Structure 1
């Protein structure tokens, strides 16, 4: 297999030149025996598409969660309304582009699994899985290309951040007690966090436990809290 027996001596050369012209790609001849037996190059390509698909899935899932609401969801971003309502819930807004992309990605992952399995079909110098691998890889590429294009043009470009709601949620988050943990100690920080979970504002809970006002204001300085270091201790050192 792969010797070229009973084929014109220039068949491969002419075929590759024609395929290069049709596709616009600079194709070159592979080792024929290896290409008939081993499909690992296509398996690697399929795996790369799968990795890209997983990243897009995570992005789509995050955007769907961040746009949930408005009353009982996060509502931190707004995505365009593509479908007015649903078949059973008037006024409901469905993130159809994101969900369509997620379904396409599920298919890509399934196709990648089929490619991996088909690459091992056959014995010795002939792999009988070549047709399936070729079909599935091109379908993967088509699906992920369309999903990327739709998410980029219909969601990402038209995405709007609800900055005021983001700030309000961030400033009321129990996670902010982490800033004061080095200053208060773990046990006292836990007590403050429990008060916040019962509806007390973080600022009031900190004041109840004797945290000075000049440190309480750190809660509002969100940009400072995303940098390395110990903001509460640094402030204490400067005040000393």
Structure 2
């Protein structure tokens, strides 16, 4: 879509300038770096209240794509030295975090991301115009479409930038997961000598150590960072240069590979050109994979949070095997109550990620022919999910896991009074005897060891050896 170059200062209101497009003319704030198409989108899409600028990763990625395109165009003789310099400096400013407030369009938008692309085109053009010594809106000197968007379409720019933005957002998430895993492993080591009861189906099972329990939590997360990294590698396959539908219309021969090579240098990521640009223009597969990876992580984090809430339940009438750090009062009516608010918040983040995975699935399925117009919804949710998970994981690690302490006496009490230890006696007294002893213990309230000694099934020395912590948790 070519913008009409019809910009002038509004003499009736010096605080605005007038720009025109195929819909008509409209006043734009004089100091705005965006233009008329961005303003129209801002007026049309007041949906989430979350603008592009909310995700600096996306602004940075858009600028990187535009910079790569400009360099490729220059090498094809399609941009002058002055225009390349202006676009390069403008994109560099954005990459460095400047002018992000000018990206005002809502993340959820119609048009398959056209409004986001035009927001970038207009901002880059106007930053570049200032560097060339011209006023915002004097597009005959540097045009959003003819220069900044040259050899491009929203349909290759937006998905490429979206993929990069998600990869950028994944890096702090990977760091957070790694740190959480390390904190859980540290607790596993600290609690290695504390015997407790393991449980299955919420019933007593067999003994284990609290350290083993926390080591299992750590092990459960150990492979998740590798999965996130693999998903990121898939996202690095892009369709830049395919333009409208993947045929490369309006781009010179060789442009696509040249632009992607430049993008790899700029991002320092393993960016590569998709083998079939037409297929890649509508394919949402890598987004689905990444969403599934986040959902898998969310499920594990939610299970961990559930376990922490159970293990710390009480303090007098629950498991009370561990103490979570007290971070805030728990009730407006019950004095002294402290709730497991940090794991609860982690649960809620996990539920959000699980739910929006279905949203992403439906949006990905909604593609038609050579494009998926629902991609903005996918991008919004993936960026939001990655950020929510990263922040929630850091919260869980710093405000909960690192401060957990063990109630060793409570753990020992549960072991000593559990019928579950009878399982360790089966090889020595037989399944029938063990079953009978367990039933008697349950009915009488007597301890398993006490009943075994009463029936002279094992000596006290034999019992002590069999029920020693080293024997019961040798693995």
TM-score for the superposition, normalised by structure 1: 0.84
Provide the residue aligned with 1:76 in structure 2. Answer: 321
Change (3 A) 1:164 1:199: same
> What are the equivalent positions in structure 2 for 1:198-237 lying under 5 Å apart?
198-211=444-457, 212-218=459-465, 220-227=467-474
Shift of 1:16: 8.6
Shift of 1:213: 1.5
- Which consecutive aligned stretches of 4+ in structure 1 deviate over 3 angstroms post-superposition? 6-21, 23-32
Provide the residue aligned with 2:248 in structure 1. Answer: 4
Provide the residue aligned with 2:353 in structure 1. Answer: 108
> What are the equivalent positions in structure 2 for 1:20-31 lying under 5 Å apart?
21=266, 25-30=269-274, 31=276
Aligned match of 2:309 in 53, 64, 78? 64
Shift of 1:93: 0.9
Conservation of the 8 A alpha-carbon contact between 2:322 and 2:404: yes
> What are the equivalent positions in structure 2 for 1:85-124 lying under 5 Å apart?
85-124=330-369
How many matched pairs? 227
Equivalent-residue separation in structure 1 for 2:261 and 2:406 (angstroms): 50
Q: Which moved more, 1:133-142 or 1:26-35?
A: 26-35
Equivalent-residue separation in structure 1 for 2:343 and 2:336 (angstroms): 18
Shift of 1:96: 0.6
Equivalent-residue separation in structure 1 for 2:325 and 2:365 (angstroms): 45
Please list the CA deviations of residues 62-119 of structure 1 after superposition, one character each: whole Å capped at 9, or x if unmatched. Answer: 1111011121101111111011231232211111110001001000001111111211
Equivalent-residue separation in structure 2 for 1:71 and 1:32 (angstroms): 63
Change (3 A) 1:16 1:115: farther
Structure whose residues are more often helix by fraction: 1
Aligned match of 1:45 in 276, 290, 293? 290
> What are the equivalent positions in structure 2 for 1:126-205 lying under 5 Å apart?
126-197=371-442, 198-205=444-451
Q: Which has the larger radius of gyration?
A: 2
Q: Which moved more, 1:126-135 or 1:212-221?
A: 212-221
User: SS at 1:119's partner residue?
Assistant: helix
Equivalent-residue separation in structure 2 for 1:4 and 1:158 (angstroms): 56
Change (3 A) 1:88 1:34: farther
Conservation of the 8 A alpha-carbon contact between 1:172 and 1:201: yes
Conservation of the 8 A alpha-carbon contact between 1:104 and 1:147: yes
Structure 1: runs of 5 or more not aligned: 229-240
Aligned match of 2:280 in 17, 31, 35? 35
Equivalent-residue separation in structure 2 for 1:118 and 1:48 (angstroms): 17
TM-score for the superposition, normalised by structure 2: 0.44
Equivalent-residue separation in structure 2 for 1:41 and 1:172 (angstroms): 52
Conservation of the 8 A alpha-carbon contact between 2:260 and 2:271: no
Shift of 1:207: 1.2
User: SS at 2:325's partner residue?
Assistant: coil
Shift of 1:162: 1.5
Conservation of the 8 A alpha-carbon contact between 2:260 and 2:273: no
Structure whose residues are more often strand by fraction: 2
Structure 2: runs of 5 or more not aligned: 1-244
Equivalent-residue separation in structure 1 for 2:333 and 2:400 (angstroms): 24
Shift of 1:41: 0.7
Shift of 1:186: 1.9
Equivalent-residue separation in structure 2 for 1:32 and 1:124 (angstroms): 13
How much is the aligned-residue C-alpha RMSD, in angstroms? Answer: 2.4
